[in-house]
Structure 1
Amino acid sequence: MSHSPRTKRAATVAASAVTALALAVPAAQATPPEPTLRDAAPHDLEIGSAVWGKNELLHHDRKNPRQFQAILGDEFGSLTPENDMKWAELHPEPDVYDFSGADAVVAFAKANGQEVRGHTLLWHSQNPEWVTEASASWTCEEARDVLEDHVRTVVGRYAGEIYEWDVINEVMQDDWDAGGVRLRTEANPFLKACSVDPVGLIGDVFRWAHESDPEALLFMNDYNAEGINTKTDAYYELAQELLADGAPLQGFGAQAHLSLQYGFDDSMQANFERFADLGLKVAVTEADVRMPLGDDGEPTAEQIATQAERYDGLLQACLGVPACTSFTVWGFDDARSWVPGVFPEGYATIMTEDFEKKPAYFALLDGLTDATPGRSPRTPPGLNR
């Protein structure tokens, strides 16, 4: 395994991070137009953002929807429905599917020449009430029937329009959970019903998805999955088992929801490399870097600089592995970030509530610019966008 040194780059990012805020200028005032993340990215890497179709593309119940949508189209080549393809939104009743939000994301992507990452088909969280209630008495066969119908219906509807799918999401427990790192055969209703052979069910989910859309790349995805640790060791073993059984697993995704309260795992590139050595694609799927804020609700200069370093570290780990196909931030502005609603932290994204570009944004832009064709081993020299 080879590892790209980041020491010099991290120092540069840290030194310039605070002053970079002054460089943020609204796109409308820039002459000529400022470069974007999307334009700076190498050919073989999609830069994406999560978006909630119902809220931000259909109903516009957040502030500045037009400016938000303009930035979303200009800066990113890939979109992930933040909630619109999760069970609670998409499949609210046993025989009812609501595709409105997901359709809005796909339509927006088409109109703006963007790709779409599907998220997600099997997860223990954000399931509708009917699943929670019915699963208490499911047999494995009943659970399989419900899950197969959902997978084939959803993946089939968007066949040819989704380039990557998070097929399974967070199926592993953590070190701190009861029983330690293992498959969630208690919290996940489908794995619980089929606890005799949960890996067999997971393999079939990949098969159903592949049969419904043979062109989409099919991923496993989780948090706390950036570096080499007990959890990613378990995923590595699961990947080997699935592949040995002929399941069409094709990718491994690390969510990369980071916090400045914890250190940065420098083994991320090595972790990606070992999954790539299995023949899998890899991806950063839900990146943000949150932090505790002061009484005034503002970060310190040191926090701002460290955040930029962390975003850069995530990107460099991806750029250093040719199999890394996409790098997605989990929303690009603080007004729409999920973080404050879940953690006593904030300032997690690459733009402020007023779309001012943070040093973290410029760290990503610089990293992508340095990896453009002709100056990066990621793509052949001389290849033009």
Structure 2
Amino acid sequence: MAEGETAPSQPLEGMRVVDMTTLGMGPLAAQILGDFGADVIKLEVPVGDAFRHIVPQRSAGMSHTFMQFNRNKRSLALDLKSDLGREARERLLKTADVVLVTVRPEAARALGMDYETVRAINPQIIYCAAYGYSEKGPYAGRPAADDTIQAMSGIAGLQRLASGTNQLIATVVADKACGQAIAYSVMGALIHRLRTGKGQYIEVPMFETMVAFVMPEHMAGRAFEPPMGEAGYARVINKDRRPFQTKDGWLCVLPYTTKQWLRFLRMIGRDDMADNPELADPVYRSRHYEELYGLIDGVMPTKTTAEWVDLLLAADILFGEVKGPNDLLEDPHLEAMEMFPVVDHPSEGRIRLLGFPISFSETPCRLRRLPPRLGEHGPEVLRELGFDAEAIAAMGYPQHP
């Protein structure tokens, strides 16, 4: 760093990301990069991101979900079928460090947004393409979404092993896990470019990414050749691995270490089991999870949730009260951590966003930009790209935004 220069206040300050994604996976990745200080330009078609149009929403195009995936961005809406729209996109790409796309490669080529075309415009670009299945395998080109990837990646099948019912997890876990994979992959490529000056192409296929996410603990006996058993981590797919009913609610209880199990057994008056030397052996316990979980299930209804919480805290045993989404909004710990800040939005009034879960001592994340209205920053960005007022007006923006 030259004398007199100051360190950036955020790690990606000075980087520009062109976010050409919609829905959850890509917008989350771009939002993370924006939280780390990047200038994220959300390039939208005139109808906007599909997530803008679900309910509830206070005004058109500003749905609850869109707002949670699109802070710290500027919105530029362009008709990419027009000559001016394509010129604006090309100028924008010349200024970019990163481009994110979530359309399949065939569609990207049809739009003139494939890697080879973008690299010809900007040779140092980091181009990250995320879609259902790698182009290198036989599933290339298949359409995909969170639900279908949950099914394909083993999540629904594992739920069936655990509960007897094929189920999807009640959150868009594939979209969000893959969004984080996009973000860390881009940051790795940015470090490489800082060291070498070279951009690159990144492929983040949802199927393979989620298999890598799901399978580490579930390789089980198939981790060995020849196999020592089937895939599936026995403790995790045990039907009794679930919250237990107390006298007045539900509680997840997890004695895990040997010391915790022995303390728990003495707490519930089962000194006979605590004195059994076999239970001090974690291998023995791993083969008897069904009986041990059954023991917890049987004793939980004898006390209220609050009584159990006091006992488990005193014994330093893992537990968690069962909370729903509304409970989280009133959780005292999350309130202290400002996880759901209420802010004033210029068009939406008072809105509640998500806070930042990770703390940095030197480069903290911060809310620099509220979720943008469709095309809100178009005139500003187009002026930065060198367009005059007449051209900006011809692209559908007012002379004085």
TM bucket, shorter chain? under 0.3
TM-score (normalizing by structure 2): 0.25
Structure (1 or 2) with the larger CA radius of gyration: 2
